[in-house]
């Protein structure tokens, strides 16, 4: 199916409804199957069915509690961080056209800084100076913002802010630990919680551990609600975003290309829904969707299929 029809290749200008969605983050493919059609836009509306009207009358929408709102925020942040890390790791090429290996580190303040505005100001200065340093190493325009990164901040037990970072395109820097500590100039630099040499992420297994590390801190930061109404992570501009599509034809095509042994996780929400008492289930706050089936496929060992899926989602296949 090398020449996809235009209705699959291009997203429509109008809004539409679908019960399927695929998200590609690096080599990870996530496929969603919803229990009913959902709006994939904000402007279109459709008339509710008689059944939906009756359910709405019987089970009024329940307002989420502050705790539920925080948990939902943590889930969204964790999901996006996972996707961004996967979408950008091993995706940026050095001057020899080989992928940079991601590098993680933690920035701490010697002073007990708890003001997020002040901390972010110092963080921005660090990134600006480091961009200058790496541009000089790679003979690029010194004023360009070329570094690609993601950072999560949180409060230490003593009340000071610190940053957990992952760089996606940090070049080789001689005496890197001491050089970065000098560029930071606000306190210690740690790797894996220790003051030691940098360890590059060389494979998918190590990357999975790093993702767990970052999502642990983002959940802690969100649930503690240390900085209300503040985004809990920072990213550089122009990171690769996850690729998404909700056309049933596209999702079905991608699903048909998945090797059986690439499945790494599955949630059969339809079976769980059918097992439950129907009246009790309809009363839950998720009754608008009824159920959700979810599949994760890892195409690390299938580079040709991975490349094909990327082209399909970009509309270039």
pLDDT digits (tens, 9 = 90+) for 153-187: 888 777 789 899 999 999 998 888 889 999 999 99
| Count: domains in the chain | 2
Are 178 and 75 contained in the same domain?
yes
Element (H, E) at 22: strand 17-25
Q: Is 39 helix (H, G, I), strand (E, B) or coil?
A: strand
Whether 51 is covered by a domain: the verdict is no
Q: Running DSSP on this structure, what letter comes out for residue 37?
A: E
Whether 62 is covered by a domain: the verdict is no
Q: What is the mean pLDDT of residues 252-260?
A: 95
Residue 81 CA, chain-centre distance (Å), reads: 3
pTM above 0.85? no
Most confident by average pLDDT, 32-41, 239-248, 268-277: 239-248
β 243-245/17-25 pair status? antiparallel
Angstrom distance (rounded) from CA 272 to CA 286: 13
Residue 38 CA, chain-centre distance (Å), reads: 22
Judged on CB neighbours under 10 Å (0-12, 13-18, 19+), 224 is exposed
Select from 81, 72, 84, 87 the least CA-distant residue to 212.
81
Are 84 and 117 contained in the same domain?
yes
Select from 300, 284, 291 the least CA-distant residue to 32.
291
Are 130 and 201 contained in the same domain?
yes
Are 80 and 154 contained in the same domain?
yes
Q: What percent of the chain has a predicted confidence (pLDDT) above 70?
A: 79
pLDDT in tens, 99-140: 999 999 899 999 888 888 999 999 999 999 999 999 999 999
Q: Pull the structure tokens for residue 277.
A: 């008492």
Window from 5-14, 65-74, 90-99, 261-270 with minimum mean pLDDT: 5-14
Are 191 and 213 contained in the same domain?
yes
């Amino acid at each position: 199916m090398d020449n996809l029809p235009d209705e699959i290749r291009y997203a429509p200008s109008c809004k539409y409804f679908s019960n399927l969605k695929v998200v590609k983050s690096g080599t990870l493919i996530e496929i969603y199957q919803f229990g009913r059609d959902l709006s994939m836009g904000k402007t279109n509306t459709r008339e509710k069915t008689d059944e939906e009207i009756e359910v709405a009358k019987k089970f009024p929408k329940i307002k989420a509690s502050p705790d539920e709102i925080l948990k939902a925020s943590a889930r969204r942040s964790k999901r996006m961080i996972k996707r961004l890390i996967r979408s950008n790791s091993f995706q940026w090429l050095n001057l020899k056209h080989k992928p940079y290996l991601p590098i993680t580190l933690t920035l701490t303040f010697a002073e007990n800084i708890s003001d997020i505005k002040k901390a972010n100001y110092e963080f921005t200065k660090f990134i600006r100076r480091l961009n200058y340093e790496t541009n000089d190493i790679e003979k690029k325009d010194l004023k360009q913002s070329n570094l690609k990164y993601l950072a999560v901040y949180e409060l230490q037990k003593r009340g000071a802010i610190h940053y957990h970072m992952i760089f996606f395109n940090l070049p080789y820097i001689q005496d890197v630990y001491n050089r970065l500590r000098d560029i930071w100039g606000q306190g210690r630099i740690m790797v894996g919680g220790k003051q030691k040499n940098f360890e590059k992420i060389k494979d998918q297994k190590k990357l999975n551990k790093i993702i767990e590390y970052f999502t642990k801190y983002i959940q802690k930061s969100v649930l503690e609600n240390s900085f209300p109404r503040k985004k809990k992570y920072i990213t550089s501009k122009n990171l690769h975003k996850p690729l998404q599509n909700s056309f049933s034809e596209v999702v079905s095509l991608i699903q048909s290309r998945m090797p059986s042994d690439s499945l790494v996780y599955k949630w059969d929400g339809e079976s769980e829904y059918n097992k439950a008492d129907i009246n009790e289930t309809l009363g839950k706050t998720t009754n608008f969707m009824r159920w959700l089936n979810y599949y994760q496929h890892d195409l690390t060992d299938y580079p040709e299929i991975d490349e094909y899926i990327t082209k399909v989602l970009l509309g270039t296949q």
